[in-house]
Amino acid sequence: MTDFAATRRAFHLPEGITYLDGNSLGPMPLAARDRAASMIRDEWGEMLITGWNRAGWYAQPRRVGDRIARLIGAGPGEVVMGDTLSIKVFQALSAARALRPDRRVILSDSGNFPSDLYVAQGLARAVDAELRVVAPEDVTAAIDGDLAVLMLTEVDYRTGRRHDMAALTERAHAAGALTLWDLAHSAGAVDLDLTGADADFAVGCTYKYLNGGPGAPAFIWTHPRHADAVQPILQGWMGHRAPFAFDQDYAAAPGIERMRVGTPPVIALAVLDAAMDVWEGVAPADLRARSIDLTEAFIAGVEAACPDLVLNSPRDSARRGSQVGFRHPQGYAVMQALIAEGIIGDFRAPDVLRFGFAPLYNDLEDVGRAVEVLARLLRDGSWDRAKFHQLADVT
C-alpha cells in the first residue's frame, strides 16, 4: 500500500492554503529546493563545463525519462525529456504524419487544449494536411480510411473527461491510422498503460501532476516499433547520432534520442529529477483509487451543499481524470473569492470552476474544507464584490 501521508509530507504546502490546482502547477517537493541549490552551487558553480560528463548532464534527458516511463506504462529507454509540451506535440505529430504520407487527415476533438490544436493547424499548413476537429463524443465515428493521425488529449483540461485510450487506438489502427496521446492531465494523475494500449506516440508536461516546477521540460514517447523509423522534422544537433562529430549533415540518433533537439534545460531537469523521488513507492493502482475517492467525495459534497453549481465533469469515475469542474455564471468571481479564502483552484472560460485533486498531497480534509468554504461564499453572496470581478493576466 502506498503511504500517501508520507508523500504529502514530501511537499512544501504553504500554511493556510488548500491547494487544488496541481493540474496547472504542482507544489514544490522539498527535495526540489535542495536539489536546485546543490545543482547551482556544486555542479554549475564548481564543475563548469565538465558537468556535462562528471554530473551526467548529457544523459539526464534519458535518465529522467526512464523515471517517467514507469508512470505512463512505457519501457526503459523509450522516453526522452526536453523543450516545452507544445514543441513535443509538433515533433510527435509531424513524425506520425510522415509515417502515413499518402493520408492527409489529422483528427482531434474540441476538448483538446488550444495549443495542441494551434500546433496542428500550423503543421497542416506546412505539410498540406487537413485538421478535422469533432466533438469528443464523435471521435470514434469520425475515424475513417482517410485518417493519418488521431491526436487526442486523454484527459480533457476543462471537463476532466477521460478518453478510452485502448479502444480508440484499436479503432484508429483498424483504419490504418496512428495515434498521438497528450498526457498533460494524465501523467501522475491516473494509471496509464501506453504499451498495453498499443499507442504510437505520447507527449506530456511535467509541471502539472509531476510537480517539476514552472516551465519544467516536457516528455516524448515513441513506441519502439517506430522509434528507429521516424525522421524528426526538428533535426537538432542533440538528436544527431554523433553530436560531437559536428558533421555538416544530419544523421538521426538511434531510438528515442533522435527526438532530442538542442541543449536540455539542465537546471530544470535536476529539479524535476528530485521531484520524481516522491514517486518511488507509489503504486499506480493506489494513485487511481485515491484519486477516485477524492473526486467522488468532492462531487458529493458540492452537490449536497451548493445548489447553484452544475457539474461539468463526467459523473462516472471511470470516464473522469483527477479533476472536477463546476459551472457558475459568475465562475471567475467565485474562484477569486475562494482563492482569497485560501482555497486555490482555477477558472476556465466561460464559466468553469476547476479543481484538481492530486493524490500525492491532497486528502479528504482538503475536500471537506473546500466544500465548506465554497458553500459559505455562495450562501452569503460574499463572492459578489467588485474586486473579485477584476480580470488578472493569468486566470
Q: Which residues are annotated as a binding site for pyridoxal 5'-phosphate?
A: 85-86, 113-116, 153, 182, 185, 207, 237, 263
- Between strands 11-12 and 352-356, the pairing is unpaired
| Helix or strand holding residue 53 (H, E) | helix 51-54
Question: What one-character DSSP code corresponds to residue 145?
Answer: T
- Segment 78 to 107, residues that bind ligand PLP, using CB under 6 A: 84-86
Q: How far is the CB of 346 from ligand PLP (least distance, A)?
A: 12
Is residue 157 close enough to count as binding ligand PLP by CB under 6 A?
A: yes
- Beta-strand relationship, 178-182 and 147-153: parallel
Count of residues that bind ligand PLP according to CB under 6 A: 12
In angstroms, the CA 310 to CA 292 distance is: 19
Half-sphere exposure for 242 (CA within 13 Å, toward CB): 5
Which set of grid coordinates corresponds to residue 304?
449536497
Question: Is residue 209 a contact residue for ligand PLP (CB under 6 A)?
Answer: no
Among 184, 202, 270, 275, the residue binding ligand PLP under the rule CB under 6 A is 184
Active-site residue identified among 103, 208, 260, 348: 208
DSSP for 310-341? EE-S-SSGGGB-SEEEEE-TTHHHHHHHHHHT
Active site residue 113: yes
3-state secondary structure of 200: coil
Residue 249 CB, shortest distance to ligand PLP, in Å, is 30
By beta-carbon proximity to ligand PLP, the closer residue of 155 and 344 is: 155
Q: Closest by alpha carbon to 49, among 58, 62, 59? A: 58
Cis ω before 359 (30° cut-off from 0): no
Site membership for ligand PLP, residue 205 (CB under 6 A): yes
Q: Is 113 in the site for ligand PLP (CB under 6 A)?
A: yes
Question: Rule CB under 6 A: is residue 153 a binding residue for ligand PLP?
Answer: yes
Q: Between 16 and 55, how does the x/- string for binding to ligand PLP read (CB under 6 A)?
A: ----------------------------------------
List of residues contacting ligand PLP (CB under 6 A) = 84-86, 113, 115-116, 153, 157, 182, 184-185, 205
Which residues are catalytically annotated?
Answer: 113, 182, 207-208, 354
